[in-house]
A and B are shown apart, each in its own frame.
Chain A
Amino acid sequence: MLDAKIPSGPLAEKWNKHKFDLKLVNPSNKRKYDIIVVGTGLAGASAAASLAELGYNVKAFCFQDSPRRAHSIAAQGGINAAKNYPNDGDSVFRLFYDTIKGGDYRSREGNVYRLAEVSVNIIDQCVAQGVPFAREYGGLLDNRSFGGAQVSRTFYARGQTGQQLLLGAYSALNRQINLGKVKMYTRSEMLDVVTVDGKAQGIITRNLIDGTIESHAGHAVLLCTGGYGNVFYLSTNAMGSNVTAAWRAHKRGAYMANPCYTQIHPTCIPVSGDHQSKLTLMSESLRNDGRVWVPKTKEIAERLRKGEIKAVDLKEDERDYFLERKYPSFGNLVPRDVASRNAKQVCDEGKGVGKTGLAVYLDFADSIKRLGEDTVAAKYGNLFDMYRQITDENPYKLPMRIYPAVHYTMGGLWVDYNLMTSIPGLYALGEANFSDHGANRLGASALMQGLADGYFVIPYTLGDYLAKIGPAPIDANRPEFAKVKSEVEVRVKTLLSLRGNKTVDEYHRDLGKIMWEYCGMSRDEEGLKKAKGMISDLRADFWKNAIVLGDNEEVNQSLEKAGRVADFLELGELMIDDALNRDESCGGHFREEYQTPEGEALRNDDDFAYVAAWAYTGDNMPEELHKEQLEFENVKLTQRSYK
């Protein structure tokens, strides 16, 4: 059994007590420590800035040309905080409870409570930085209800909340770069972790401009490298989002937890053809005012697909507002996993719309009638414009077409309460870890978690570890560094020697299709077993027949992609193993075999109320399962019901 090191005592006192119990680093010793931060999204930028402010020397890395490009920038909807400004009954406990319940009781009480607790500090911090959140006419902050929450606890900045929060964290990072406390490495990709005597003490990177393979030493390494949604090829992630840093750490001994928990977001613009390179999310705030429906019968759907009739021509009794029908109390605002699964179900029944039949309507006609086009435009204008730009259809006149797409990965590197992975000195923050969202993440909670980890958790917990190991310098000339560096060089050489006949993108697309088909919105044993074999064959074929062009000593997109896809091919198989192991349905993990008579996810709390943490044991060897039992002392496990 894994020990998450959750502090004892009452839930509401755990974090405070823990902060007191953690060792502190003497202020004059802080400058003797070097900290490596990989990734500059919300978690990475906030951590790098906060640690540098404390006095540590930080080296920060990103593969993009600027730290401001990290994919946190694309988050649209908002950030939750238990401020209770609207006086509508919110509290730290309610945010905690909603998050635990929304995660289908597969997350840790201690972590989630701490998240809810520090959520209020995040908003204060961001406002003080000059983040321009939406405001009321009285000059105070505006809140909205988001993603099914029954209180208005979401702070937002138009449809660009992630952008504004990231630019806030980026500004704090810039200040520390200017002060010389952070050294920033852009266009640098981490390719491995170096451990010395079992502790993480550095990383190996590749300079993406000239190919230099570099060793960087530090007293601790923080991976803030995001999620692995691009294992599905098509997702709402950025093109460059990848699992390589986390996967390399996994192969050096960091456990990977609950990799099968992936979030399929219900409101994305549907796929238009084979050329599709990524999917675009439409913020789920749209579900506050849009009504989801499909035609009542297959026959009408067929005529719509052929373009014989238009959606607006259908009478009310020819439409099925299936979420409102099945979930009268939550209606269109049911959690993401429930909304996505229902959309898939109606499309599987042949009622899908659009050319491909893989779409449902999200209709604003009623809201426009009730509120006027101007009000709707003020709330969602930029999203409507984006939709129009991509689809060439006017959502003010015709209902939007939406379909679920891979959006977020709840699984990730296993971490304890201090955010330390199973490798001492190696930490994982933000989407890269697994710890707070259970089997399903609630809307507006990703930004909250990324910033909580970076601004308010790691500055405390890291000090405890550093104080214990002491400030003696870490030497990048040790043989351990040379060994890992030469392994990285060999791998790069091997990749560059592949001169087969199939492009890396083709492998990636094939992998994505397998994952989406068999390990996507619903899974079953037979399909998963089949997929495992398919991925294994695909991986073997990749190492024989992939085309990787060019040399190491240059800008080489072919090589970059190949390294990332090679890691996705390994991760995919572990996700299948994890999905096969979990003989229950929970949140985003829906196993066909385990459902209630109404078709809802059926958990098995007796046997599966645990975190599945997988340990790498060697190439082509089965991974070893470690379990962390989840203890629920403050909430009662119930069947989620949104009826």
Chain B
Amino acid sequence: MSGNMNLTLKVWRQKNSSASGKFVTYKAPEISPDMSFLEMLDVVNEGLVKKSEDPIQFDHDCREGICGMCSLVINGEPHGPKRATTTCQLHMRSFNDGDTIVIEPFRAAAFPVVKDLAVNRSAFDRIQQAGGYVSIGTGGVPDANEIAIPKVIADEAFNSATCIGCGACVAACKNASAMLFVSAKISQYAMLPQGQPERYARAEAMVLQMDEEGFGGCTNTYACEAKCPKEIKVTNIARMNREFFNAEFIKG
């Protein structure tokens, strides 16, 4: 294990959604390679607070790579340089002594900046609210084992269901498309028997809401898949397109 590092950070600072932002340079001295990226920012922030300067705002919560709250574009890449890794699970051993690190918020018209590096991803919630569920209430459901699901289908649906809703797919896409995110949920239900009754209505409602929110279209660059911390596959997008297309015929 190498020794501690001295780093330079160029961080996007923006007071609120209506203010204009700019890069500010900070020193991050004596950073241990065992720190997570967010712990490195904690250290910088603690130094700022000691000097009565406003600490850098960034979203984070579980710090285990599962809540989907952390974000950041690090040196041009959402969640930084490693594959299948959220920012909170990125460790400083991925960087070298003397590095300059550029840190920006996720950039998309549908994700307005809240402050500094934190953005508003409520568009994602509204897409889920449009149809990302099975319309059943609590109680009155069949015994769990009355619904047999082939393991391969269950596993494939699970792969789609692992999406953490972080928005890296949008940030990675030159069109700021949300299709990987939306297609993951549509796919999960399209594959499972529980999702069948509302299969096409759901696809249609979620896609329309996605467009309403101002996300761009997909031009098949696969940047989303490359940067997805949960390795959600672009085949979900193909499935979503098929579902949406079929919805037109089935609507009747």
Partner of A123, one of B64, B128, B132, B144: B144
Say whether A172 contacts B89, CB under 8 Å.
no
Q: Give per-residue flags for A601-621: 1 if the beta carbon is below 8 A from chain B beta carbons, else 0.
A: 000000000000000000000
Say whether A280 contacts B138, CB under 8 Å.
no
User: Taking the complex as formed, is A634 at the interface, i.e. its CB lies under 8 A from any CB of chain B?
Assistant: no
Q: Give the shortest distance, in Å, between B81 (CB) and chain A (any CB).
A: 13
User: Taking the complex as formed, is A135 at the interface, i.e. its CB lies under 8 A from any CB of chain B?
Assistant: yes
Partner of B165, one of A66, A136, A178: A66
User: Taking the complex as formed, is A313 at the interface, i.e. its CB lies under 8 A from any CB of chain B?
Assistant: no
Say whether B64 contacts A128, CB under 8 Å.
no
User: Taking the complex as formed, is A141 at the interface, i.e. its CB lies under 8 A from any CB of chain B?
Assistant: yes
Q: Give per-residue flags for A47-71: 1 if the beta carbon is below 8 A from chain B beta carbons, else 0.
A: 0011001000000000011111101
User: Taking the complex as formed, is A263 at the interface, i.e. its CB lies under 8 A from any CB of chain B?
Assistant: no
- Report if A178-B129 is in contact (Cβ < 8 Å); known contacts: A65-B122, A73-B62, A455-B138: yes
User: Taking the complex as formed, is B95 at the interface, i.e. its CB lies under 8 A from any CB of chain A?
Assistant: no
Residues of A within 8 A of B125 (CB): 66-68, 174, 184, 186
User: Could you say which of A5-13, A97-105, A163-171, A565-573 contacts chain B?
Assistant: A163-171
User: Taking the complex as formed, is A389 at the interface, i.e. its CB lies under 8 A from any CB of chain B?
Assistant: yes
Q: How far is the CA of A561 from the CA of B194 in the complex (A)?
A: 42
Q: How far is the CA of A455 from the CA of B139 in the complex (A)?
A: 8
Kindly report which residue of chain B lies nearest to residue A159, judged by CB atoms: B66
Say whether A65 contacts B59, CB under 8 Å.
yes
Say whether A277 contacts B158, CB under 8 Å.
no
User: Taking the complex as formed, is A521 at the interface, i.e. its CB lies under 8 A from any CB of chain B?
Assistant: no
Q: How far is the CA of A130 from the CA of B191 in the complex (A)?
A: 10
Number of chain A interface residues as a range: 35 or more
Q: Give the shortest distance, in Å, between B189 (CB) and chain A (any CB).
A: 6
Residues of A within 8 A of B189 (CB): 130
Q: Give per-residue flags for B100-135: 1 if the beta carbon is below 8 A from chain A beta carbons, else 0.
A: 000000000000001100101110110011111111
User: Which label, helix, strand, loop or mixed, suits the secondary structure of the B interface?
Assistant: loop
Q: How far is the CA of A460 from the CA of B135 in the complex (A)?
A: 21
Residues of B within 8 A of A504 (CB): 49
User: Taking the complex as formed, is A275 at the interface, i.e. its CB lies under 8 A from any CB of chain B?
Assistant: yes
Say whether B63 contacts A238, CB under 8 Å.
yes
Number of chain B interface residues as a range: 35 or more
Q: Give the shortest distance, in Å, between B161 (CB) and chain A (any CB).
A: 5
User: Could you say which of A198-206, A529-537, A551-559 contacts chain B?
Assistant: A551-559
* Interface hits, A277-301 → B, CB 8 Å: 277-278, 280-281
Say whether A272 contacts B151, CB under 8 Å.
no
Residues of B within 8 A of A281 (CB): 64
Say whether A66 contacts B121, CB under 8 Å.
yes
Q: How far is the CA of A501 from the CA of B50 in the complex (A)?
A: 7
User: Could you say which of B31-39, B213-221, B233-241, B243-251 contacts chain A?
Assistant: B31-39
User: Taking the complex as formed, is B46 at the interface, i.e. its CB lies under 8 A from any CB of chain A?
Assistant: yes
* Interface hits, B28-76 → A, CB 8 Å: 32, 34-36, 38-40, 42-43, 46, 49-50, 52-55, 57, 59-69
Residues of B within 8 A of A389 (CB): 85, 89, 91
Q: Give the shortest distance, in Å, between B190 (CB) and chain A (any CB).
A: 10
User: Taking the complex as formed, is A486 at the interface, i.e. its CB lies under 8 A from any CB of chain B?
Assistant: no
Residues of A within 8 A of B67 (CB): 64, 69, 71, 73-74, 238
Kindly report which residue of chain A lies nearest to residue B189, judged by CB atoms: A130
Kindly report which residue of chain B lies nearest to residue A505, judged by CB atoms: B46
Kindly report which residue of chain B lies nearest to residue A67, judged by CB atoms: B125
Partner of A175, one of B55, B133, B188: B133
User: Taking the complex as formed, is A137 at the interface, i.e. its CB lies under 8 A from any CB of chain B?
Assistant: yes
Kindly report which residue of chain B lies nearest to residue A155, judged by CB atoms: B144
Say whether A130 contacts B195, CB under 8 Å.
yes
Q: How far is the CA of A209 from the CA of B115 in the complex (A)?
A: 9
User: Taking the complex as formed, is A549 at the interface, i.e. its CB lies under 8 A from any CB of chain B?
Assistant: yes
Say whether A549 contacts B139, CB under 8 Å.
no
Residues of B within 8 A of A124 (CB): 141-144
Residues of A within 8 A of B49 (CB): 503-505, 547, 549, 558
Say whether A386 contacts B145, CB under 8 Å.
no
Residues of A within 8 A of B89 (CB): 386, 389-390
Q: Give per-residue flags for A114-143: 1 if the beta carbon is below 8 A from chain B beta carbons, else 0.
A: 000000010111111110111111111100
- Report if A128-B66 is in contact (Cβ < 8 Å); known contacts: A277-B39, A554-B15, A557-B57: no
Further contacts, 18 of them, CB under 8 A, given A74-B66, A158-B158: A65-B120, A66-B125, A69-B62, A124-B144, A129-B134, A135-B149, A135-B151, A171-B132, A175-B129, A175-B133, A178-B131, A186-B122, A238-B61, A275-B32, A386-B64, A386-B65, A390-B89, A456-B138
Q: List 29 A-B contacts (CB under 8 A).
A: A53-B138, A65-B121, A71-B61, A73-B67, A83-B145, A125-B139, A126-B144, A128-B144, A129-B194, A135-B151, A158-B158, A160-B162, A163-B162, A164-B158, A164-B161, A174-B133, A186-B122, A239-B62, A273-B34, A275-B40, A275-B42, A277-B63, A280-B63, A280-B64, A386-B65, A389-B91, A501-B50, A503-B50, A558-B49
